[in-house]
Amino acid sequence: MKILLQLAYDGSVFHGWQVQKNAVTVQETLQNAIEALSGQRLPVTGCSRTDAGVHARVFYCTVPAKELSHIALQNLPSALNAHLPDHVVIVSSVLVNDKFHPRYSCKQKEYLYDIYTGSYRDPFCIGRSWQLCRELDVVRMNEAGSFLCGTHDFSSFCASGSSVIDKVRTISAIEISGGLHVVMRICADGFLYNMVRIIMGTLVQVGTGKISPETVSAILEGKDRALAGTTAPACGLYLNRVIY
């Protein structure tokens, strides 16, 4: 058996999820807490490889159950939280069988992207929103987003140099809400490297009137990263839901 942990973290203080040399990551921080409880360095498998600066309102990972059996399952979150910094918290813990994989058992993931559009910088949004500080046409952005829904080859919205061969993904929903914070919700069966951030960067070009909504369809069909917009900053991106 494995233990499935649900956690949340503020990514602004971490260099992403995955362990790296000479950089503080969420995975390493969690392993340190687990080692403090079990006396062993246990493997931790995550549901996603979030980049440096990316946040997670919901994130799942698994750890071996046997080495933590001396702690009641319902007490494990509080026990781990006592050893974790304020920027990461364990929300729940449940047992799953060995066939369950937090990444490959996932059916869909949902991300949110937050853009602050106020006329001046907000110090309370530092590290948590893209502070664009200009108005965006949300109606045009939603129109452009509709061209991306469905099953497509998203090569134009994948970071250059990615080793992934199959770039076909299915986006089930893109919704953009307006206001002082413009927020994009995007749900898909999987995402390519920087896919959400490149989509957001491209939709901002639509929202500022630099390109038309229909241009996004041509960008998608071109299957060329050079056609799409800039990669939006990591600070505005949140993993919001993981559906199993």
Positions marked catalytic: 51
Rounded to whole angstroms, the maximal C-alpha distance in the chain is 60
Half-sphere exposure of 206 (CA within 13 A, CB side): 25
Q: How far apart are CA 137 and CA 208, in angstroms?
A: 7
Beta strand extents in the chain (DSSP E only): 2-9, 45-46, 55-64, 88-96, 108-116, 130-131, 150-153, 168-177, 181-188, 237-243
Q: How far apart are CA 172 and CA 113, in angstroms?
A: 16
